[in-house]
Amino acid sequence: MAENAIGWLSLPLGIATNLMVNGRDVLVPMAIEEPSVVAALSHGARMVRESGGVQATACPPEMIGQIQLLDLADAEAARERVIQAEPELLHIANERQPAMVARGGGARAIEAHVLATSQGVMLIVHLTMNVCDAMGANAVNTAVEALAPVVAGLAGARAGVRVLTNLAVRRLARASCRVALQPLAGHGAAGEDVVMRIIEAHAWAEADPYRAATHNKGIMNGIDAVAIATGNDWRAIEAGAHAYASTPRGSQASGGGYAPLSSWIRADDGGLHGELIMPLAVGTRGASVRAQPLAAVALKIMRIESAVALAEVMAAVGLVQNLAALRALAVEGIQEGHMRLHARQVALAAGAQGPEVDALAKRMVSEGKIREARAIILLKEIRDR
Ligand code: MEV
């Protein structure tokens, strides 16, 4: 799949449980090396499940391709000519994608934006395309490359870069949930206290990009793990997520700065209401999914066939992963649970094998010292016994 390959770097593939999305139980395959992410999603999903699980929707799978036009005599007039030619341009784009058009997809719209840059005025043409169940990069890139000379001719301009944008704002997914007070309580904290602390944590993320980055990293822990398990391009999803987090989005963003992708408010019944909105350009067809047999198995485990259904589940995963992280941060702190699970990784790093891994991890947890130097000493003791 990649060039000059000398081997595979494997990741653990785990299954998170308890998640209910739109009334349907979904087992969630997650490929991730970080301990406690799979456990946290399962835990968060159990809390949400008691209030009916997660409701999720996703837009039709429309991607945007961009064409850069330069050396314009009159940018506004060029823009007008390109917009007038929309039917012809859509026809040219669709000619390149007969299979996609036959499945109900294809080019949908042309827009053009005049842009002042450090290198002069440019016209940026946007092609919107329904890519059906693909991630869509190849289809969109093929279409914009075919269109570039035509729009350059119409605009009387020179065509520059043409490629899709990962800021897939027409491919948003939305997940929302309620959490009752009782499942939030624990570690000596009442449910009301936990609600208040989670709302305060969210308010901090809204006001501070340093915290928002980590808040969103927690969301992406779950989303990336599902993306990798299903053979999707997680770099594209990451790029889209963080670009979207930086665009003005009403109440979620204060003045267009980097903002959390989720929001948490007090629900009418005193519990929590959470919502996540973000672009999720994911596919269930395409070479990268088909080239990896386990990716097809992962989709089968989730009983997912369409890109829209996958985006809905991934949005639900991101929201619940965020809830689990905020709940842990607000109550016991993340290190207690995390270090218990991290102990196995430290044991492996110290050279433990087979049953030694759990035995060594248990010794470190009971001592409260989860460090590689200590693990090496304890491993020697276990082996000398
Ligand atoms: C760790 O991988 C993710 C968290 O830092 C997320 C957060 O702080 O919200 C726990």
CB of 325 shorter than 6 A to ligand 1: yes
The 10s digit of each residue's pLDDT in 276-328 is 999 999 999 877 777 888 999 999 999 999 999 999 999 999 999 999 999 99
Instruction: Point out the ligand 1 atom lying closest to the alpha carbon of residue 221.
Output: 2
Q: Separation of 37 CA from ligand 1 center, angstroms?
A: 10
Instruction: Point out the ligand 1 atom lying closest to the alpha carbon of residue 34.
Output: 2
CB neighbour burial string for 175-200, b if at least 16 within 10 angstroms, e if fewer: bbbbbbbebbbeeebebeebbebbbe
Best CA proximity match to 65, nearest among 146, 157, 6: 146
Nearest CA to ligand 1 atom 1: 218
**Beta strand extents in 146-213 (DSSP E only):** 158-164, 172-179
Coil/strand/helix, residue 52: coil
The 10s digit of each residue's pLDDT in 172-186 is 999 999 999 999 999
Q: Tell me: pLDDT of 264 over 80.
A: yes
Nearest CA to ligand 1 atom 6: 218
Nearest CA to ligand 1 atom 9: 215
Instruction: Point out the ligand 1 atom lying closest to the alpha carbon of residue 201.
Output: 9
How far is the CA of 309 from the CAs of 45, 173, 302, in angstroms? 18, 10, 10
β-bridge partners, 164: 65
Q: Separation of 36 CA from ligand 1 center, angstroms?
A: 11
Instruction: Point out the ligand 1 atom lying closest to the alpha carbon of residue 219.
Output: 6
The 10s digit of each residue's pLDDT in 119-168 is 999 999 999 999 999 999 999 999 999 999 999 999 999 999 999 999 99
Residues 6+ positions from 176 with CB-CB distance below 8 Å: 54, 55, 56, 273, 274, 275, 276, 319
Nearest CA to ligand 1 atom 4: 218
Q: Separation of 323 CA from ligand 1 center, angstroms?
A: 10
DSSP category for residue 305: -
Q: Tell which one of 30, 32, 33, 221 to mutate to probe ligand 1, the residue whose CB is within 8 A of the most ligand atoms.
A: 221
How far is the CA of 290 from the CAs of 97, 103, 287, in angstroms? 19, 18, 5
Which amino acids are annotated catalytic? 34, 217, 233, 338
Q: Which pTM was predicted?
A: 0.91
Best CA proximity match to 376, nearest among 360, 365, 362, 359: 360
* pLDDT cut 90: percent of the chain above it: 86
* Average pLDDT value for the chain: 94
Q: At what angle do helices 209-229 and 234-245 cross, to 10 degrees?
A: 150
Residues 132 and 54: beta-carbon distance below 8 Å: no
The 10s digit of each residue's pLDDT in 345-372 is 899 999 999 999 999 999 998 888 889 9
Instruction: Point out the ligand 1 atom lying closest to the alpha carbon of residue 322.
Output: 9
What span, in angstroms and rounded, lies between the C-alpha atoms of 377 and 364? 11
Residues 6+ positions from 192 with CB-CB distance below 8 Å: 181, 270
Q: Tell which one of 34, 38, 41, 215 to mutate to probe ligand 1, the residue whose CB is within 8 A of the most ligand atoms.
A: 215
β-bridge partners, 178: 273
Compute and round to an integer the Cα radius of gyration of the chain.
24
How far is the CA of 22 from the CAs of 57, 135, 266, in angstroms? 9, 23, 22
Phi, psi of 271 (to 5 degrees): -80, -155
What span, in angstroms and rounded, lies between the C-alpha atoms of 239 and 334? 26
Residue holding tokens 């822990």?
221
| Structural tokens at position 140 | 């969109």
pLDDT of residue 256: 61
CB of 260 shorter than 6 A to ligand 1: no
The 10s digit of each residue's pLDDT in 47-99 is 999 999 999 999 999 999 999 999 999 999 999 999 999 999 999 999 988 99
Q: Tell me: pLDDT of 253 over 70.
A: no
CB of 214 shorter than 6 A to ligand 1: yes
Q: Separation of 67 CA from ligand 1 center, angstroms?
A: 37
CB of 369 shorter than 6 A to ligand 1: no
* pLDDT cut 70: percent of the chain above it: 98
How far is the CA of 315 from the CAs of 217, 225, 312, in angstroms? 14, 12, 5
